[in-house]
Structure formats: structure tokens, C-alpha cells
Amino acid sequence: MITLTHFLVVSACIFCIGLYAVLAKRNTIMILVGIELMINAAILNFVAFGKYDKLNYAGQVFALFAIVLAAAAVAVGLAIILNVYRSFKTINPKNIHELKD
Amino acid sequence: MNVSIPNILDQIIASVPLFKPELALIIGFIVCIFTALFLEKRWRNSTFIGCIVTLGFSLYYLIGQLSTTATGFSGMWLVDTWSTYARLVVLCSTVIIAIFLQQQHSKNNGDVYSILIAATLGMHVLSSTSHWLMAFIGIEMVSIASYILVGYFSQNKTQSEAAMKYVLFGSVCAAVMLYGLSLVYGLTGNLDFQSAEHLQGLMDAPEAIITLALLFVFAGIGFKLSFVPFHVWSPDVYQGAPTAITAFLSTIPKIGAIILFARLYQSWSSTAFYFSELSTWFITIVAIVTMLVGNLAALRQQDVKRMMAYSSIGHTGLLLMAVFAYQDLNSYLLFYIVAYVLMNLATFIFIDQIEQQTGSTSLLSYTGLGKKMPILFTAFTLVAISLIGIPPTVGFVAKLMVFTSTFSVFQSSGDTGALLLLIIGALTSAISLFFYFKIPLYAFLRNSDQPVILKKQFGVLLVIAYILTVLVILFGIFPNWVMQVLA
């Protein structure tokens, strides 16, 4: 029997993996992948909780909107990273530091 | 609850009149995409005209809503004084930003206007909802539009780097906020943060999970408001982006986010349970730290745009203080927003005009310019005085109102947090004197040995900036003009 707890544990794990990728990876595309994992963990949560919200289906609707918005944000992010690669010839955030105090 | 389809349809159709300003923006957004594609080559500025007409229509419908208080779309859309005046300020400043863009980036600017309209639409959504789904959509709309705006004109390294930092930091904050929202949804089963069910769910939840969920949600709002510790992106992005875009970033996105935060704080802080205490402590600590970090870091900046970034972080701290103090009276918070927008727009237009002449935004390049551009620098100094909060300017009145109401909160409740807020607020206002006065110091009191050749310039932008400066003084002497409208 798969209960709500299983979903929550899995989504917490995915969120932590995504957070680790964001903090530790030295490649901007991998950071975007990490962000995507974090968003998907939240979407899993929404759908799992939505099972108990029989009347409004707010969880499912939120999940749909979140998927669309995440796709839009990633499209913009990739375009900007392409632009960064053109001017810096690298996408390692460590090496991109023209602006600082 | 009645869930038959004809009933729902009736409800939606009845709510459409409340949505007219936004419908105008949606239609204008689509029209601007097509004019940028097909007409821009034949008639230059056709997209700009389309954008201004759209904003005009939206303004017209919005003025029709001035005295309405209603909810629509089954409680997802709120129209009240907060939302109407916030949207009014957003639309007026968007018009100025559109003119700014048209004057400074006249080539290849077709799509910028449609993105600007999309960002405005996101702001409208943020400032007139209490539903988490709408709030998240609003935050993402504004964020995605701002990422594109920052990267749109990127020609050199700094501009693309600014766009990249913005997009990465923004996406992480949005993802964290979404996870927090999913936890809040799981705890309450309701996404409207003003509803009784939502508050009841928060009261029953265990403390550890609620701390995590609330802090995650605040992370997303904190990114849009750029309060500490989610402020690290703003100096880099403000410095790297083109000045017209910086003027946009420093004013418009903050209006919607602060209205959302004020609504949230108002409904969450009113109970005696753990989550109310947590939000009150959070806002107090964050406001104090934000004012300190913003104003202290601004002291050692040599680039004007970077300095203004830290200054706007400091002003965010004061806005949070206004949210903390004015839970019932909303006109004071709106007054601070109006003052903040006036001052920041004028400042960035001045910075841009000087950048056009000298090609630099460094403070050192202002040396001796005061004698060559006397009117501009006099107006600039007046706006700087207003940013510090010295009479007789609008900044003084706005700060005074925030301080007096925080003091009355302290008197009525004896809350140490309110006292600390007052002390730190007064202290940081004094600190801010030192970095804002660097501008007239360099411009008027230091002489440069390098001759600067000035181009003759008298554009629309400068006229707008002077009008804004006059308004800064006028609203400072007669604050009643604004207060009567807002009350």
C-alpha cells in the first residue's frame, strides 16, 4: 500500500537532490536541471495532496500551471545562458565574475 | 457550494467587468507582438504607440473602478483600494518606462514593449489577489518578463552576466517558494490565504513543518522585494542592466510584491498562534537587517547604479516597516510606495542623462559636472534629499508617517521589536545622508581638470524627470493632496 507519506518522502528526496545540484554543480545547465528537480518535487507534493481535496482539485490545477511556468522559465534561462556562452566562452558560474563589489 | 456548470459560467461572466484593465493589457500584448513582427519595419515606433495606447485603455478602465470594492472569479480576484491604487501607480510608471525605453533604445526594440506589458499584467495579478495560485502566476510572470528585459539589449559581458545571475537566482527562489506553497496547501487544503479554513489549518499544524513552509514561501516573496538574505542578486543586476531596465526593476516589481506581502501579513499576523508570532518576528528581524545592510553597503560604492541598488534595499526595509506598522490603515503604505516610485524614476532618468554625456556611471566621473549642468544637478540633489528624508520633500513625509505609526504601535503594545525598528530606522536614515550627498559633493565642490564636452540635449525624458522632481517637492509640502485621494 502506497500512502501519502511515501509520496512526501520521495518528493523531499527529489527536492534535496535538486538543491544539492544547484549549490554544488559548476555548470549552469546542471543548475537549471537542479531547479527543474526542485519544481517537480513541489508538483509531486501538490498532486499527492490534491487527492484529499476532492471538491476543488486545486492541487492538480496548481500542478498544471507550475509545469507550464517552469517550462517558460527554463526556455528563457537557456536563451540567456547561450548569450553568456557567446561572450564568456564558458558557462561555469565560478569563472563569470565581471560584476562584484 | 454550487458546482453546476451554468452557475459557474454565470459567475465568470459576471466577474469579467472587474477584469477589464487586464483584458486591455492582454489584447495589447498580442497586438504588440504582431506589430513588432509586421509593422515595425515599415513604420518605426508603431509598437511603442501600440504599447502607449494599450496602457491608456487599461488606465481608462482602471479609473472606472476607482470606487469599486468587489471580488470576482470565486474569490480569486480582489478589487479594493489597495489593488486599484497600486495598479494605478504601476500603470503610470510603466508609461514613463516605455517612453524611457523608446528614447534610449530606439533600434531593435520591437519586442521589448510586449514584454513590458506582460510584466505589468503580472503586477496587476499580484496586487489584486489573495489566492496562492494567482500570486505564484503573478510572481512568475513578472520574473520571466524581467529576465528577458535584463538580457534583451545585452551586447557586452556585464549585461549578459547580470541576466544570468538574475535568472538563476530567481528560478531557485521560485522553486523554493513553490515547494513551500505545496506544504502550505497540504497543511490547510485551501489556497486562499485570507480564508478561515486556511488559518485554521495553519493553527493546527505542527511547529517544525510550519516554520519550514513559511520560510520557504517568504523566500519567493523576498526575492521579488530583494530583502536580506535574498538581496544578493540586486546590486549585480542593477549595475549590469541598461539604465532604463534598472529603473523598471527598482520600482515596478516591488509594488505588487509589497502589496501581496501586506495582505499576507495582515491576515496572518492577527491570531495568537505560532505562525502569527513567526511572521511578526520574521518581518521585524528582516526589516532591521535589510535597512542596516542596504545603507551600510551603499557607503562604500563607487558606481551610482550599484549605490542605488543598495539604497533601494534600504528602502525595502522601510517598506517592510510600513507593512509591520500599518495593518489597518492602508493609505500610509500606498503613500510610501508613491514617494518611492517618484524618487527612483527621477533618479534613474538623471543617471541615464549623465551617462549619455560622459559614458560612465562612476561617481568619480561626476566631478565638476555641477557647473556644466546646473539645472540637472540641482534637481538631482533635490531628489537625493528626498531619498534621505529631509524636509520639504515627499521622502520626509513618507518616512515621518512610517516612524510615527511604528511609535504608536510601540506605545500601545510595548513591543521591543517596534522600538528596535524605530532606532535602526532613524540610525540608517542618518547613515544614508553620507552616500547620497556624495553626488552633489562630487558635482559641485570638486573641480576636474579634464574638460568635458557636452552635447546639447533637451529631450522628453528630461522634462519628465523635472516634472517628477517638482512633484517630489509639491507632495512634500502638500501631502494632503495625495492622502485625500488615497484615504
Q: What is the pLDDT of residues A25-50, one digit of tens each?
A: 899 999 999 999 999 999 999 999 99
Mean pLDDT to the nearest integer, B123-137: 94
Among B157, B171, B240, beta carbon nearest to A35: B171
The amino acid present at B335, given as its one-letter code, is: F
In a domain, A36, yes or no: yes
- Rg (C-alpha) for chain A, rounded Å, is 17
Quote the CA–CA distance of B399 and B389 in Å, as a whole number: 7
pLDDT above 90: residue B168: yes
What are the residue ranges spanned by the domains of chain B? 17-486
Is the distance from CB of B173 to CB of B222 less than 8 angstroms? yes
Cα-based angle B435, B436, B440 (whole degrees, multiple of 5): 110
One-character DSSP codes across B19-86? GHHHHHHHHHHHHHHHIIIIITTTSTTHHHHHHHHHHHHHHHHHHHTTT--EEETTTTEEESHHHHHH
Q: Residue B386 in contact with residue B336, Cβ under 8 Å?
A: no
Residues in chain B closer than 8 A to A66 (CB atoms):
136, 178
Please report whether residue A101 resides in a domain.
no
Angle at B447 between CA B444 and CA B453, to 5 degrees: 90
Provide the Cα torsion A58, B125, A41, A47; round to 10°: 10
CB-CB contact of A53 with B189 (8 Å): yes
Q: What is the pLDDT of residues A73-90, one digit of tens each?
A: 999 999 999 999 999 999
A59 and B175 in contact by Cβ < 8 A? no
pLDDT band at A55 (very low <50, low <70, confident <90, very high): low
In this predicted structure, what is the pLDDT of residue B45? 86
The confidence score (pLDDT) of residue B118 equals: 96
- What pLDDT does residue A7 have? 95
Query: What is the percent of chain B with per-residue pLDDT over 70, rounded to a whole number?
Result: 97
Q: Each residue of B358-382: pLDDT tens digit?
A: 888 888 888 888 888 889 999 999 9
pLDDT tens per residue across span B211-257: 999 999 999 999 999 988 899 999 999 999 999 999 999 999 999 99
Model pLDDT for residues B250-270, shown as the tens digit of each residue: 999 999 999 999 999 988 888
In-domain check, residue A100: no
What residues 44-73 of chain A have any CB closer than 8 A to a CB of chain B? 45-46, 48-49, 52-53, 55, 58-59, 61-62, 65-66, 69, 72-73
- Chain A residue closest to B299 (CA)? A101
Q: Which of B188, B21, B47 is nearest to B110 (CA)?
A: B47
Measure Cα distances from B288 to B227, B420, B452 in Å. Answer: 10, 8, 42
For chain A, positions 75-94, list CB contacts with chain B under 8 A.
76-77, 79-81, 83-84, 86-88, 93
Residue A99 in any domain: the answer is no
Residue B328: predicted pLDDT: 63
Which one is predicted more confidently, B391 or A8? A8
**Model confidence band, residue B357 (pLDDT cutoffs 50, 70, 90):** confident
Q: Do residues B83 and B249 make contact, with C-beta atoms less than 8 angstroms apart? A: no
Nearest CA in chain A to B190: A58
- CA B283 and chain centroid, separation: 18
Report pLDDT for B28: 96
CB neighbourhood size of A1 (10 A): 3
Residue B1 has pLDDT above 60, yes or no: no
Residue B272 has pLDDT above 90, yes or no: no
**Residue with more model confidence, B328 or B24:** B24
CB B186 within 8 A of CB A58: no
Q: Exposed, middle or buried by CB within 10 Å (0-12, 13-18, 19+), for B478?
A: middle
Q: How many CB atoms lie within 10 A of CB B472?
A: 23
Looking at the predicted structure, is the pLDDT value of residue B68 above 90? no
Confidence of residue B155 (pLDDT cuts 50, 70, 90): confident
CATH number of the domain that A77 lies in?
1.10.287.3510
Q: Does the pLDDT at position B285 exceed 70?
A: yes
Distances (CA, A) of B129 to B72, B85, B138, B302: 10, 14, 9, 40
Q: Which pLDDT band, with edges at 50, 70 and 90, does B153 fall under?
A: confident
- Probe site for chain B from A44, A99, A101 (most B CB atoms < 10 A): A99
Residue B327: the pLDDT is 59
The interface residues of chain B toward chain A in range 126-145, judged by CB-CB distance below 8 A, are 132-133, 136-137, 140, 143-144
Residue A23 counted as domain residue:
yes
B 236-255 residues with CB below 8 A of A? Answer: 236, 239-240
Nearest to B387 by CA among B333, B467, B312, B275: B312
Per-residue CA distances from B98 to B55, B344, B470 (Å): 10, 15, 21
In chain A, the number of structural domains is: 1
Q: How confident is the model at residue A1 (pLDDT cuts 50, 70, 90)?
A: confident
User: For residue B207, what is the enclosing H or E element?
Assistant: helix B207-225
Rounded mean pLDDT of chain B? 91
Instruction: Output the pLDDT for position B161.
Output: 92
Contact A99 B236 (CB under 8 A): yes
**Containing structural domain, residue A66:** 4-94
pLDDT at A54: 67
